[in-house]
């Protein structure tokens, strides 16, 4: 969520579109609900693009080859430990145009059929197949509802005129190097915050 909010604060045009989608679908007389998510296509695209750029973990869990095989033209012997660099896959310029750019609209056009829980190996922030993260469904539901609730309820701005620092810290889950600092102001009528 921190990476997602950081990206949105740095890309105010994307933030404006996301809030407009909420205003058009939910309005300003009620709170956003989980059932609204199925109608928020741009929010889904923002989530996918954020997970492409900043997967929860850049490397997969170690896997052990059960038999001799060939992978990408290389021989892999039985018993070899394999670790997939998921970040490298998700930044592959043969798959993603401008792979370093935050462009959620790519998931509404050229990559609209790519799903996080499918066998689309271009986007595997939670792994794939039998060894996929068992918490993926919960994580996505919480991420989307939290994002929609925050964007619906508040405007976000940077405290200064400099962009939010996107430097990655050190760790298994790729933390931010510096805390996210934003100013919030309410967008909805006061009775909806009680």
Contact 92, 54 (CB under 8 A): no
Contact 148, 122 (CB under 8 A): no
Contact 127, 60 (CB under 8 A): yes
Contact 78, 66 (CB under 8 A): yes
Both tokens of residue 72?
């990408």
What are the residues facing 71 on neighbouring strands? Answer: 74
161 is in an annotated binding site: no
72: left (phi over 0), alpha (psi -120 to 50) or beta: left
Contact 18, 43 (CB under 8 A): yes
Write out the binding residues: 133
Write out the binding residues for heme: 133
């Amino acid at each position: 969520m921190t990476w997602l909010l950081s990206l949105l604060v740095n890309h105010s045009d994307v933030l404006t579109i996301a809030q407009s989608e909420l205003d058009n679908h939910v309005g300003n007389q009620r709170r956003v609900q989980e059932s609204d998510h199925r109608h928020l296509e741009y929010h889904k695209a923002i989530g996918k693009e954020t997970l492409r750029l900043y997967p929860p973990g850049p490397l997969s869990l170690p896997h052990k080859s059960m038999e001799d095989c060939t992978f990408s033209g290389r021989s892999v012997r039985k018993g070899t430990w394999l670790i997939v660099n998921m970040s490298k896959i998700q930044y592959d310029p043969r798959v993603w145009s401008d792979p370093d750019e935050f462009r959620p609209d790519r998931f509404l056009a050229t990559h609209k059929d790519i799903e996080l829980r499918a066998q689309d190996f271009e986007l595997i922030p939670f792994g794939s197949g039998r060894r996929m993260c068992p918490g993926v469904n919960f994580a996505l539901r919480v991420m989307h509802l939290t994002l929609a609730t925050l964007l619906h309820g508040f405007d976000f701005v940077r405290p200064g005129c400099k962009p939010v620092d996107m430097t990655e810290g050190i760790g298994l889950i790729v933390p931010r190097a510096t805390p996210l600092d934003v100013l919030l102001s309410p967008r909805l009528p006061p009775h909806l915050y009680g």
